[in-house]
């Protein structure tokens, strides 16, 4: 039977054994455990063999004696036990003398690990003024030694630094406040050192430490305080309203929101002139000006200012009140000020028909200083509106400088500046609004161009159109409008006008049925008067067209001439235009016929003419030959003044008129007129040829070859009756007489 025998050596780290084959050893090197077989007689015939965890490396065995030795130190925190197998064999035959036995070597713990704080250093806060014993933090230290064996892992906590402000529980490691009402304002930061020691704190135990940084957080336990009970402040009277004129501050030992405060003016004669607000960042009271200052009226003000916390803690209300009061005296400084207008702004009015130089109004400004200097006035010229008025520099009286038209501009806004004679750079300005009052200077007129239509099948009393009016004047001089027919004309049998008394009027028929074949257009003069004083009126003629309509009143067709008439051409004018066209066509045909019937030229041969004569021996161009002869010169000699230049050559220099004026031409007969024209053509140096003859070769009734003109008759031109031509008859008769004289001259 194999058994283990353990002997205590002189070394304190020895093996101990408990049967069966369970051994313990310390962490040092040792060899005292031994194995022994009953078969071992001590003669060395038995050999011991060791196998298993660490065999041959950590543990070796003496194969003769069975002593087991460790070759290196053991660490229980790395491996707590080893499983080994031992066997005794015959050294000579190598046969087992006994079965293999298993035994376990347990590593016995020793205190070789100090306690450790794994989470340090710590940072923690605790409110100031906390009660004594208030828990701050719990710290924990760990020990790697075996907690089940001895006191190697039994830790005790203690405080090395931080007393008498804090304490620590030895068993739990809970840190608590050790004083009552700790004041942050006295001391804010604390560094506490906590120690953890094993072996239950006994001498020889191992220890570790950590640092706990504790900060006292603020609570509102301090009221605000002004450093002084009285303050002085200087403010010039020229300070602008709304501007900041000074600052004041109360101190508060607290921080954050506990130091926030609000400033208030609680009383004083300056409470209505000054205001105070709080700057949240700097916690200062900003004093601002609410009303203008005047040194001449009041030279100083007194304010009582309160500063109070906005966040209060009821737990510390007994430390209050959390506010403080101080007195502020403000002195007003005297400065040279610009003039002050008595009103701002000014509003004036003037009628639009006011003459230049009419007084509109007066502005007044005074020197606010005690010197009371003289003030001068001036219009600031920036826009065209400023030129419509002038101002007297000494009195401030505004006058008109131009005429007005309310319908174009109804308001004028100008700026007037005032300055002291002694200090012209100190200016004050005021706005003056001038309203242009209306006068009745615009007559009413129709609101639009009305195209009035009456149907042929109309009945008496039927309305055909509603008209309205407009007036550029305002309501007082415009509506209400009154409509009526022109009383100076006879009563209209066809239409009448009804005033609807609502600024409109209706056109009504007065008879039954209208006919386009009888009359296509009617004219209705309408008089419109306004309600102004004095009243103005205007007369407008409405054009009414007769149209064929459906039974439901829809217009089917209207005469084209009616619409032409609506464009401004009357029937008589159209007839006159058509008659003129017919006469001109007849004259053109007459001259073409005469030129074609000519048998021999006026000048037979150039050899028979001793002077340089240009012959125009060409056929007429019919209706296209409009340059052959201008008959208007013979019909109306005064019109020839405009057509005296030759048409075949464009003169470079405009010739000087040499013929009599139009008034004298009327008294000259046609023969003399033609002679003058020939003389002018010969003497005109502006166009070639310089010696030319203007030929008027037209055959008359005395021509040997006869006349092919459709106007030829048995009677003479003067005996012809031209009354069928109407107003053109006398003119055409005179033209015929001229033709006769020309024909007589030619044959002669």
Q: Give the pLDDT confidence score for residue 739 in this predicted structure.
A: 66
Over residues 88-107, the pLDDT tens digits come to 888 888 888 888 888 888 88
Q: What is the reported pTM?
A: 0.42
Residues spanned by CATH 2.60.40.60 within the chain? Answer: 2-107, 122-217, 230-333, 340-437, 445-569
10 Å Cβ neighbour count for 701?
19
CATH code for the part of the protein at 445-569: 2.60.40.60
Name the CATH architecture for the domain at 340-437: Sandwich (2.60)
The predicted pLDDT at position 562 comes to 41
Q: What is the pLDDT of residue 229?
A: 94
pLDDT at 746 over 90: no
Residue 664 has pLDDT above 90, yes or no: no
Q: Name which residue leads in pLDDT, 158 or 64.
A: 158
Fill in the DSSP letter of residue 363: -
CB atoms within 10 A of CB 172: 11
- Considering only CA atoms, which of 143, 134, 277, 142 is closest in space to residue 216? 134
- Would you state the pLDDT for residue 619? 53
What 3-state DSSP class applies to 54? Answer: coil
DSSP string, 152-213: TT--EEEEEESTTTEEE-TTT-EEEE-SSS--TTT--EEEEEEEEESGGG-TT--EEEEEEE
**Vertex 106: Cα angle to 103 and 109 (nearest 5):** 170
Report the distance separating Cα 659 and Cα 67, nearest Å.
172
Three-state DSSP at 290 gives coil
Distance CA 35, CA 87 (A): 9
Which stretch of DSSP H or E encloses residue 562? helix 560-566
More confident residue, 228 or 613: 228
CATH no. for 122-217: 2.60.40.60
pLDDT in the model for residue 610:
44
Q: Which CATH architecture has domain 2-107?
A: Sandwich (2.60)
Least confidently predicted of 367-371, 447-451, 608-612: 608-612
Tell me the C-alpha to C-alpha distance, in Å, between residue 38 and each of 98, 187, 207, 337.
9, 80, 50, 131
Q: If you average pLDDT over each of 154-158, 325-329, 712-716, which comes out highest?
A: 325-329
What pLDDT was estimated at residue 743? 64
CA distance 53 to 294: 107
Cis peptide before 689 (omega within 30 of 0): yes
For residues 49-64, give the mean pLDDT. Answer: 84
Q: What percent of the chain has pLDDT over 70?
A: 74
Please spell the DSSP secondary structure of 530-551, one letter per residue.
-SSSS--EEEEEEEEEEEEE-T
What the block records as the tokens of 254 is 């607290």
Contact of 545 with 521, CB cutoff 8 Å? yes
Average pLDDT, the chain: 78
**pLDDT band, very low/low/confident/very high, at 240 (cuts 50, 70, 90):** very high
Position 282 pLDDT exceeds 90 = yes
Q: DSSP class of residue 481? A: P
331 has a pLDDT exceeding 50:
yes
Candidate CATH numbers 3.40.430.10, 2.30.110.10, 2.60.40.60, 3.40.50.300; the one for domain 230-333: 2.60.40.60
Give Cβ neighbours of residue 601 (< 8 Å, ≥ 6 apart): 615, 617, 697
Query: What average pLDDT does range 343-347 have in this prediction?
Result: 91
According to the model, what pLDDT value does residue 3 have? Answer: 44
- Dist CA 81 CA 104 (whole Å): 7
Q: What is the pLDDT of residues 473-531, one digit of tens each?
A: 877 776 788 999 988 888 888 999 999 988 899 999 998 888 888 889 999 999 999 88
């Amino acid at each position: 039977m194999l058994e283990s025998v353990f002997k205590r050596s002189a070394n304190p780290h020895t093996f101990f054994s408990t049967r069966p084959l369970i051994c313990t050893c310390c962490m040092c090197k040792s060899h005292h455990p031994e194995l022994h077989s009953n078969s071992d007689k001590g003669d060395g015939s038995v050999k011991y063999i060791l196998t298993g965890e660490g065999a041959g490396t950590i543990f070796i065995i003496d194969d003769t004696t069975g002593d087991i030795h460790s070759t290196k130190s053991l660490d229980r925190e790395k491996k707590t036990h080893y499983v080994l197998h031992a066997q005794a064999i015959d050294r000579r035959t190598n046969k087992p003398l006994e079965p293999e036995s298993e035994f376990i070597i347990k590593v016995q713990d020793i205190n070789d690990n100090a306690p450790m704080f794994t989470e340090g250093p710590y940072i923690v806060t605790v409110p100031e003024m906390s009660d004594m014993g208030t828990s701050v933090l719990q710290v924990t230290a760990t020990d790697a030694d075996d907690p089940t064996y001895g006191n190697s892992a039994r830790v005790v906590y203690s405080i090395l630094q931080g007393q008498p402000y804090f304490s620590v529980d030895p068993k739990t490691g809970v840190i608590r406040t050790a004083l009552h009402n700790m004041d942050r304002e006295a001391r804010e930061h604390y560094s506490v050192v906590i120690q953890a020691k094993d072996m239950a704190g006994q001498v020889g135990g191992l220890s570790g430490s950590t640092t706990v940084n504790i900060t006292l957080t603020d609570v509102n336990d301090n009221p605000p305080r002004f450093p002084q009970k009285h303050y002085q402040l200087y403010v010039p009277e020229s300070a602008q309203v709304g501007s900041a004129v000074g600052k004041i501050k109360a101190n508060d030992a607290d921080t954050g929101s506990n130091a926030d405060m609000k400033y208030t003016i609680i009383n004083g004669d300056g409470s209505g002139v000054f205001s105070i607000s709080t700057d949240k960042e700097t916690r200062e009271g900003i004093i601002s000006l609410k009303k203008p200052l005047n040194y001449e009226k009041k030279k100083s003000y007194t304010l009582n200012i309160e500063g109070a916390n906005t966040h209060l803690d009821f737990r510390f209300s007994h430390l209050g009140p959390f506010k403080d009061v101080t007195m502020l005296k403000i002195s007003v400084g005297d400065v040279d000020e610009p003039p002050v207008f008595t009103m701002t702004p000014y509003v004036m009015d003037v009628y639009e028909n006011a003459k230049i130089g009419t007084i509109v109004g007066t502005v007044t400004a005074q020197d606010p200083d005690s010197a009371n200097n003289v003030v001068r006035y001036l219009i600031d010229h920036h826009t065209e509106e400023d030129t419509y008025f002038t101002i007297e520099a000494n009195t401030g009286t505004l006058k008109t400088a131009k005429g007005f038209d309310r319908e174009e501009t109804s308001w004028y806004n100008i700026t007037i500046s005032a300055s002291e004679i002694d200090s012209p750079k100190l200016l004050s300005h005021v706005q003056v609004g001038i309203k242009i009052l209306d006068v009745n200077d615009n007559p009413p007129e129709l609101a639009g161009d009305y195209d009035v239509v009456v149907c042929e099948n109309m009945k008496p009393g039927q309305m055909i159109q509603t008209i309205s009016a407009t007036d550029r004047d305002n309501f007082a001089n415009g509506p209400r409008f009154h409509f009526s027919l022109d009383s100076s004309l006879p009563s209209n049998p066809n239409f009448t006008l009804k005033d609807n008394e609502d600024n409109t009027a209706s056109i009504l028929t007065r008879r039954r049925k209208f006919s386009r074949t009888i009359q296509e257009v009617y004219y209705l003069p309408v008089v419109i008067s306004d309600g102004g004083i004095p009243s103005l009126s205007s007369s407008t003629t409405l054009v009414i067209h007769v149209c064929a309509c459906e039974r439901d009143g829809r217009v089917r067709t209207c005469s084209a001439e009616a619409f032409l008439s609506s464009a401004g051409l009357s029937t008589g004018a159209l007839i006159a235009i058509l008659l003129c066209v017919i006469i001109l066509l007849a004259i053109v045909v007459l001259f073409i016929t005469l030129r074609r019937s000519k048998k021999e030229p006026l000048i037979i041969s150039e050899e028979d003419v001793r002077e340089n004569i240009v012959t125009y021996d060409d056929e007429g161009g019919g209706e296209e030959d409009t340059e052959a002869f201008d008959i208007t010169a013979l019909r109306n000699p005064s019109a020839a003044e405009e057509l005296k230049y030759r048409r075949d050559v464009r003169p470079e220099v405009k010739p000087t008129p040499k013929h009599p004026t139009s008034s004298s031409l009327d008294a000259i007969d046609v023969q003399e007129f033609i002679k003058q024209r020939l003389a002018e053509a010969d003497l005109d140096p502006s166009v070639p040829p310089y010696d030319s003859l203007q030929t008027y070769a037209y055959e008359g009734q005395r021509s040997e070859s006869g006349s092919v003109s459709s106007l030829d008759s048995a009677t003479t031109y003067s005996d012809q009756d031209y009354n069928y031509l109407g107003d053109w008859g006398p003119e055409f008769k005179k033209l015929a007489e001229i033709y006769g004289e020309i024909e007589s001259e030619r044959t002669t």
